[in-house]
Amino acid sequence: MSAPAGRDGRAVSPAVTALRRLPNPRLTGIGAGLFAAAVMFLLGCLDQLLFDGSAAVFGVLFLPVSALTAFWVRPADLVTAPIGVPIAFAVGIIPISGGTGGLGGRTMAVVTALAVHAGWLYGGTLVAGLIATVRKVRLMRARQRRMLLAAQTARPAAQSPSPAPAPRPAGRAPRRPSQR
């Protein structure tokens, strides 16, 4: 059996075929933020249960969640991906931050964990920002190509000879735009 063909008729590698089978949801900005926050909170809880709150495991898991959030946000909401991802990191770090002594102690532990693990936070935000930027540039280029193609196809119709304008009645001057 031969490999499946792509859009241009060339054979496509099995890796590309496998990637095309993955889900391709389009989340709104709020949906992407909620997705990232819920996944990071669940991963934080799992990290606390399985790895005793390892920040390295949490940080490594944060990077693919950042990438998925940036890939799955819809084109109109691309700017929200790098905004929602750090919020999701803060939500997800709550279970692994520790802290005792009530709300004040938990809050201080979360703030401290955010400060100590800022490298993972910046890395995930950078991943989401780069992916969103590349997607936006590709969308803008595709739109520009469509506009150029539309202008090229409309140009031959505009170059066809147009009928002569109707003669004006004698004795009348043409109207100015302000008199219309």
pLDDT-derived band at 153 (thresholds 50, 70, 90) equals confident
pLDDT-derived band at 91 (thresholds 50, 70, 90) equals very high
Residue 145 lies in a domain: yes
Residue 159 lies in a domain: no
Helix-helix angle 81-92:55-72, to 10 degrees: 150
- Per-residue pLDDT, averaged over 73-89, amounts to 94
Give the chain's mean pLDDT.
85
Listing DSSP states for 47-110 in one string gives HHHHHSS-HHHHHHHHHHHHHHHHHHB-GGGGGGHHHHHHHHHHHHTHHHH---SHHHHHHHHH
Whole-number pLDDT of residue 160? 56
Residue 49 lies in a domain: yes
Residue 123 lies in a domain: yes
Q: Which of 141, 127, 8 is nearest to 67 (CA)?
A: 127
Residue 104 lies in a domain: yes
Residue 82 lies in a domain: yes
Query: Structural domain of residue 28, as residue ranges?
Result: 24-149
- Give CA–CA dist 41/25, Å, rounded: 21
C-alpha of 22 from chain center = 17
> 123 burial class (0-12, 13-18, 19+ CB within 10 angstroms)?
middle
Residue 19 lies in a domain: no
pLDDT tens-digit series, residues 32-42: 999 999 999 99
The number of domains in the chain is 1
Whole-number pLDDT of residue 173? 61
Contact 96, 113 (CB under 8 A): yes
Residue 3 lies in a domain: no
